[in-house]
Amino acid sequence: MSSPGPEPTQRQSVFARIGVDWWAVIVTGVFVVLAVAGVLPRIPW
């Protein structure tokens, strides 16, 4: 019976090991940190 995941001997890149959901969390976190630090421009509503 074969396993659904990659074999343990294969090396995956960091981009492949981190899922899409975690990339979204990381990008959102960067935007939040920049906004809190006051680096992002303010939008005049």
pLDDT tens profile 11-21 = 778 777 888 89
> Which residue in this structure is represented by tokens 């074969």?
2
Distances (CA, A) of 30 to 12, 14, 19, 45: 25, 18, 17, 23
Asked whether 40 and 34 are in contact (CB, 8 A), the reply is yes
Which ranges of 1-45 would DSSP assign to H, the alpha helix?
A: 14-17, 20-37
Q: How far apart are CA 42 and CA 39, in angstroms?
A: 9
Measured in degrees and rounded to the nearest 5, phi and psi for residue 24 equal: -65, -40
Tens-place pLDDT, residues 1-45: 566 666 655 677 877 788 889 999 999 999 999 999 999 888 888
